């Protein structure tokens, strides 16, 4: 059933996908930096796109991400709008 899967991305995932040079998040149990986080989320996004899955972005997550966007706000909104798999949804 390709294309029927829907997943949600929170602000933390949006940061890793859309911002350059973001540091690695820390694993909650080991307290160690997660290895290659950008590669991991890029691969996830690529797999979801290949499956024609929809990535749901709840409006609170989008707001949390955009509140600190500064001058990159318009670029991020364009990037999200131009990604066919992304769907902004009410919470």
Distance between CA atoms of residues 57 and 85, nearest Å: 10
Distance between CA atoms of residues 76 and 4, nearest Å: 26
Distance between CA atoms of residues 42 and 39, nearest Å: 5
- Stated pTM of the model: 0.84
Domain boundary assignment for the chain? 11-89
Tokens (6 digits) for 30: 């080991």
Per-residue model confidence as pLDDT tens digits over 32-90: 999 999 999 999 999 998 999 999 999 999 999 999 999 999 999 999 999 988 999 99
Whole-angstrom CA distances from 66 to 4, 18, 40, 47 are 28, 11, 22, 25
In terms of C-beta density within 10 A (0-12 exposed, 13-18 middle, 19 or more buried), how is residue 72 classed? middle
Tell the residue number behind the tokens 């930096």, with chain if given: 33
Tokens (6 digits) for 56: 């749901």
Q: For residue 3, what pLDDT band results from cuts at 50, 70 and 90?
A: low
């Amino acid at each position: 059933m390709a294309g029927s899967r829907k997943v949600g991305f929170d602000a933390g995932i949006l940061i890793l996908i859309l911002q350059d040079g973001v540091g690695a998040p820390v694993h909650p149990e080991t307290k160690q930096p997660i290895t290659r986080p950008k590669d991991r989320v890029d691969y996830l996004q690529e797999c979801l796109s290949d499956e024609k899955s929809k990535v749901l972005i709840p409006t609170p997550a989008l707001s949390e991400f955009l509140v600190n966007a500064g001058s990159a706000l318009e670029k991020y909104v364009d990037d999200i709008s131009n990604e066919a798999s992304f769907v902004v949804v009410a919470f």
